[in-house]
Homo-oligomer: A and B are copies of this chain.
Amino acid sequence: MTDPGFDDVLAAAARIAPHAHVTPVLTSRTIDALAGCDLHFKAEHLQRIGAFKFRGACNAVWSLDEDGARRGVVTHSSGNHGAALALAASNRGIACHVVVPEGAVPGKLAAIAAYGAVLHRCEPTIEAREAMCAQLQQSLGARLVHPYTDPLVIAGQGTAALELLATRALDAIVVPVGGGGLAAGTALAIAGVSPSTQLYLAEPAGAAETAASLERGARVTAFTPDTVCDGLRGTLGAINFDMLRAHGARALVVDDAATLAAMRLVWTRMKQLVEPSSAVALAAVLANPDLFAERRVGIVLSGGNVDIEAMVRA
C-alpha cells in the first residue's frame, strides 16, 4: 500500500457515511473565556462506540472485497480500536478477532466482546501483541487492521477534521497523539481543505515520544509509557511519523495533572463525559495561551470511554 492522500480521506467519508455519525461541534463560552480563544470541539465521544476510532475501522472493513470480507479481520488494541473494528465487522456481518493486552480497561474489553468479536489475551508488550496477531492472520487468512498505521485507518480518521473544516474556518486544530492515526489523518484533511490551518499534537508527558521524534528528526521508539491517558500509550507509527514530519505538525507536551483538570472542565462546564485521552488537547491549549490567543481553534474530543470511578479516585 502507498501512503494515503487527501483523496483517500474523501473516499473514506463517502464509504463510512451510511454507518458513522457526523458528530456535532460543541462550544462553551465559559471555556473560551478561560482559554482566551474561540474553541470548536469536534464531539467524537458521541461517535459510534464512543470514539473517533470507528471512522478508520469502518473504512477498513467496508474497503474489503467479498473474498476478503469472508475471511474476516484481526487487530490488537488496548480498547477503542478493538471495539470500533468489532462493531464495523458486526455491521458488515463478518468475523472479527481482537488481541487484547492483560491489564486493559475492563469496560473497554466488555464493549469489544458485546459487539461479537472473539477476544485473544496476550502479554502487555507490543511484541507479544504483534506475534499473536500474525499467528491469527496466518491461520485464518484474516485481514490485519492495524490501529494506526493502516492507510485506510489513517484516511478514515481524517474524516473528523474534514467535517470540522467543512463548516468553519480555523486557525489551528489540536488533536491528541498516541500512535498517530488521528494526527496523520487530520494532516491529510488540513492539507486538502485548509493548508493555512496549523496542526498541533497534544501528547502526555508520560508518553511524549512524538515530541522527541519530531525534535530529533528520527523516530524514538524506546520508552515506557506512564500516563493516565490509556488511549495514548502506543508508539508513534513509522508512516505516521513521516507524514506528521512532512506536514510540519508541532507537538505540545502536557502533564497528567493538567489533562485531568481539563477533563473536569469538560465534564462540569460542557456536561460531556470525555476520557483523559480527549482532554489532553484542551489541556495543551490552556497551557499555551500565547500560541492560541484570540484564534479560532478546533479541538478533537477523541473519545468518552472513561472509567469514572477510577478517575474520581485519581
Contacts and interface: CB of A to CB of B under 8 A. Distances in A.
A271 interface: yes
A272 interface: yes
A268 B274 CA distance: 10
Contact of A312 (B268, B304, B308): B308
A272 B46 CA distance: 9
Interface in A162-206: none
A273 interface: yes
Nearest to A275: B271
Contacts of A272: 271-273
Interface string A269-283: 001111000000000
Q: Tell me the interface secondary structure of chain A in the complex.
A: helix
A272 B272 CA distance: 5
A127 interface: no
B45 A271 contact: yes
B308 A267 contact: yes
A289 interface: no
Nearest to A47: B271
Contacts of A248: none
Nearest to A24: B24
This chain's copy number in the assembly: 2
A290 interface: no
A50 B309 contact: no
14 contacts: A24-B24, A50-B271, A107-B268, A267-B273, A267-B308, A268-B273, A268-B308, A271-B273, A271-B274, A272-B272, A272-B273, A273-B273, A308-B312, A309-B312
Contacts of A308: 267-268, 308, 312
Contacts of A273: 267-268, 271-273
B271 A304 contact: yes
B271 A46 contact: yes
A45 B24 CA distance: 16
Nearest to A274: B271
Interface in A243-287: 267-268, 271-274
Interface string A286-314: 00000000000000000010001100100
Contacts of A46: 271
Contacts of A304: 271
A24 B24 CA distance: 10
Which of A46, A50, A107, A273 counts the most chain B CB atoms within 10 A? A273
A312 B271 CA distance: 16
A115 to B, nearest CB: 12
A139 B24 CA distance: 48
Name the 6 nearest CB pairs between A and B, nearest first. A271-B304, A271-B273, A312-B312, A45-B271, A273-B273, A309-B312
Nearest to A273: B271
Interface in A22-46: 24, 45-46
Contacts of A312: 308-309, 312
Nearest to A307: B268
